[in-house]
Amino acid sequence: MALILLLVVSIVAMLFDILPVLSAAILSAFIWNFFFIPPLFTLHIYRAEDFLMFLLYFFIALVNAVLTSKIRKWERLAREKEEKENTIKLYNTLLNSLSHELRTPIATILGAVDALQEGSGKLSKGQASELLFEIDKASWRLNRQVENLLNMSRLETGMLKLNLDWCDVNELIHSVLQKYTDRKGHIIKFEVNEALPLFKLDRGLMEQVLQNLIHNAVNYTPEGTVIYLEASLAKEYCRIVIRDNGPGIPESELPAIFDKFYRLPNSKAGGSGLGLSVVKGFVEAHRGSIKVENEIGGGAKFSMDIPAQISFVNSLKNE
């Protein structure tokens, strides 16, 4: 019984601060005395050996309580120190990434604007168009990085709120593909699924999810890679799949692919490592899930299932 009472004191020490723990240790000693040291059901102790046993138990209970509480405190301090180190590491990673990812497109825009201003009347139409194309490309790159930073901030602070509305997923994917121009020689294929109903989703967030996934596929596969988009209805889930026929992802890297600031080893320069973590956050905000796996014949496959309200308006139109 004394061991059981000491176990209870240890459990209390693992859950509460020092004052409740000391109280539990003192109370356990008196409970042991009251119920198990003769004479029973009193706090009196007549025999010297019982009194010494009581004092020994009392001392052991207090030492156990204090040591367990201190160990718990040391573990908490160690965790806090580790969290601070991770925060500093992430902060440094972010700064190093942004120093390139934000300054590069800004420098491109400033250089192109200066060339247009200084070469006014001297540049050919083709040269001016090329400079404008570089400005447009750099602006989209800068906008993508800023959006990822803002979206990650919304996810971290819990400020993200869904704006659900009826959405045609076929039209949504077409809209994203029309806006996405930086294909770098990749072929993007999407076949319309006429059997799809309307889903109640946050269109803005889903556009960002698709843009990030397409950009990730374009950025990490060689030129000429084919990227496939598929949309289907799985029970009451909106299932969207993006896959490619590129080299795939090393199996050892798959568990970390959605971590913040994570980038594949030996990947080319560019990117802050926030795109896929934003994707996961937006999908989970819809109470959905996303996973990545390698295709048997080669290539990576991202699959997301999002529970959503469904409207069969399209079937009514057919009738």
Boundary-marking domain end, from 157, 178, 200: 157
- Do 170 and 149 have their domain in common? no
Give a yes or no: residue 87 inside a domain: no
What is the residue range of 213's domain?
165-318
Cα separation values, 21 from 9, 29, 78, 208, Å: 7, 13, 21, 51
Q: Which residues contact 189 (CB under 8 A, 6 or more apart)?
A: 226, 227, 228, 229
- Do 123 and 72 have their domain in common? no
Give a yes or no: residue 90 inside a domain: no
Query: How would you classify the pairing of strands 310-311 and 289-294?
Result: unpaired
Whole-structure pTM over 0.95, yes or no? no
Q: How remote is the C-alpha of 8 from its chain's centroid?
A: 38
Boundary-marking domain end, from 127, 157, 187: 157
Give a yes or no: residue 92 inside a domain: no
- Do 138 and 9 have their domain in common? no
Boundary-marking domain end, from 157, 174, 200: 157
Give a yes or no: residue 88 inside a domain: no
- pLDDT per position in the chain (319 positions), as tens? 777 776 776 777 667 677 777 777 777 777 777 787 778 888 777 777 777 777 777 777 777 777 777 887 888 888 888 877 766 766 665 566 566 567 777 888 888 888 888 877 777 888 888 888 888 877 877 777 777 667 666 666 666 788 888 989 999 999 999 888 777 788 899 989 888 888 999 888 898 899 889 988 888 888 888 999 999 988 888 999 999 988 888 888 888 888 876 777 666 555 566 778 888 988 988 899 999 999 888 889 999 999 888 775 544 444 4
The CATH number given to whatever domain includes residue 282 is 3.30.565.10
Give a yes or no: residue 95 inside a domain: no
Structural domain total, the chain: 3
- Do 300 and 171 have their domain in common? yes
SS3 call for 261: coil
* DSSP alpha helix (H) spans, the chain: 2-15, 18-36, 48-101, 103-118, 125-157, 169-179, 203-219, 275-285, 313-318
- Do 15 and 63 have their domain in common? yes
- Do 229 and 284 have their domain in common? yes
